[in-house]
A and B are shown apart, each in its own frame.
Chain A
Amino acid sequence: MGNWGFVGLAYGLALVVLVGYLVFLKGRLRGAGEELAALEQESGRRTR
């Protein structure tokens, strides 16, 4: 592997980690948002 290979590996890995974390975070946000919305809807129905 040449010098540029190592550079590419390092930058690529960093990019994958950062983008991966972003996707993971967004996924969890969506999941938590949906869970809360469903809960609130349910309890709203009940009080009505």
Chain B
Amino acid sequence: MGRGSLATRVLGGTAGLLLAAGLYLGLVVVPPDAVQGDVQRIMYVHVPSIVTAYIAFFVVFCTSILYLWKRDLRFDAVAVSSAEIGVVFTGITLATGMIWGKPTWGVWWTWDARLTLTAILFTIYVGYLMLRAFAEEPLAGARYGAVLAILGFLDIPLNHLAVYWWRTLHQPSSILRPGGPSVASDMLLPLAMNFAGLVLLSTYFLVERVRLERLRHRTAEVRLTRGRRG
């Protein structure tokens, strides 16, 4: 009961191996950036973790819609779990972004568009987790959570619009820009490696976190039936 299945452990192990390889590539093999120097190596963690976080929040959005539609608590379990993992990766993104910002811009924090957006994202989903923790009744909590998650995800493009109109200081996303990747090809390998590693790691986290949610549901069920009998 305490350990995951064999497949889960293989998943976790593969994630660890990929991340170790990505770490070695990013820190040792790849030469420092021509302009930014060694600090640029932080990007190999920063960029994959924000993409992973967005994927996690997209999963929350989809499973929340599915929950409201099918009313199956398994969807809700995935939603809560994925939200928690998304918050962890958003936190890593914020922290590494600030650490990169200090030597690059001279300040830990600036209200540039993308940092601001990531901070807003963080507060929305921390609020989501608090809502889940404070719900008096589990089913109502699941419903409110789903509503908030859908609203929060739809809020992301609006935030983008408002914040980008407000200020655009940050270098534009270099990989996602139309016209192909502009980063040197030897930088792509550690990025891809870490990205694959973090996605696998978050899948592993998700499987384990959903298992926790199921254990809690079962405990609540046993309590309920016992209460009825006693």
Interface of chain A residues 8 through 46 with chain B (CB within 8 A)? 9-11, 13-14, 17-18, 21-22, 25-26, 28-30, 32-33, 35-37, 39-40, 43, 46
Name the contact of A6 in the complex, choosing from B100, B205, B225 (C-beta under 8 A): B100
A4 and B27 alpha carbons, distance in the complex (Å): 10
Q: Judging by beta carbons under 8 Å apart, are A21 and B88 in contact?
A: yes
Binding site for A on B (CB under 8 A): 1-2, 23, 27, 37-39, 41-42, 45-46, 49, 88, 91-92, 95-96, 99-100, 102-103, 201, 205, 208-209, 211-212, 215-216, 218-219, 222-223, 225-226
Q: Contact between A29 and B27 (Cβ–Cβ < 8 Å)?
A: no
Partner of B205, one of A3, A25, A32: A25
Binding site for B on A (CB under 8 A): 1, 3-4, 6-7, 9-11, 13-14, 17-18, 21-22, 25-26, 28-30, 32-33, 35-37, 39-40, 43, 46
Complexed CA–CA distance, A40 and B222 (Å) = 7
Cβ B27 vs Cβ A11 within 8 A: yes
Shortest B2–chain A CB gap in Å is 5
- By DSSP majority rule, is chain A's interface helix, strand, loop, or mixed? helix
- List, in ascending order, chain A residues with CB within 8 A of B2's CB: 29-30, 33
| In the complex, residue of chain B having the shortest beta-carbon distance to the beta carbon of A12 | B99
Contacts of A30 in B (CB 8 A): 2
How far apart sit A39 and B23, CA to CA, in the bound complex (Å)? 44
What are the residues of chain B within 8 A of A32 when measuring CB–CB?
212, 215-216, 219
